[in-house]
């Protein structure tokens, strides 16, 4: 059976709490969002990270983004950071900007790998970035 995040088209395991474009209806998972396509689930993840980047001060390094996404109170955050950085060839202190398509896509790609235990097609991640950047 596919991992929960893949079944829900939510490979970043975004918890319920927002009304997202592309939500699947009816929702059957009690805790996590369900989307109509993988790209719409990925798009939601990009939008959340774009919001981190807008904060003052910005949450704009790989390490800071992951620490916010997967806090130590719920996760082994350092292991999450290390795995994403190794998988996606990123440095923990790399600063990420909204227009850094390559960095953002690699970050999301690595986060999906940690969340679901499998690689997502990089092309689908790039498609989701294109959907999100115009928001």
pTM (predicted TM-score): 0.96
| Other Cβ atoms within 10 Å of 25 Cβ, number | 7
CA–CA separation, 33 and 98 (whole Å): 24
135 pLDDT more than 80: no
Give pLDDT tens digits for 31-53.
999 999 999 999 999 999 999 99
């Amino acid at each position: 059976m596919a991992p929960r995040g893949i079944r829900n088209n939510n490979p970043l395991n975004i918890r319920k709490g927002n009304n997202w474009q592309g939500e699947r209806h009816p929702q059957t998972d009690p805790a996590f969002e369900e989307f109509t396509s993988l790209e719409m689930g990925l798009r939601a993840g990009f939008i959340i990270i774009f919001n981190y980047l807008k904060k003052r001060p910005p949450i704009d390094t790989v390490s800071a983004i992951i620490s916010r996404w997967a806090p130590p109170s719920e996760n082994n955050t350092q292991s999450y950071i290390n795995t994403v950085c190794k998988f996606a060839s990123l440095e923990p202190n790399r600063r990420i900007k909204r227009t850094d398509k390559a960095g953002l896509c690699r970050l999301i790609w690595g986060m999906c790998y940690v969340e679901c235990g499998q690689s997502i097609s990089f092309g689908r991640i790039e498609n989701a970035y294109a959907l999100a950047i115009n928001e």
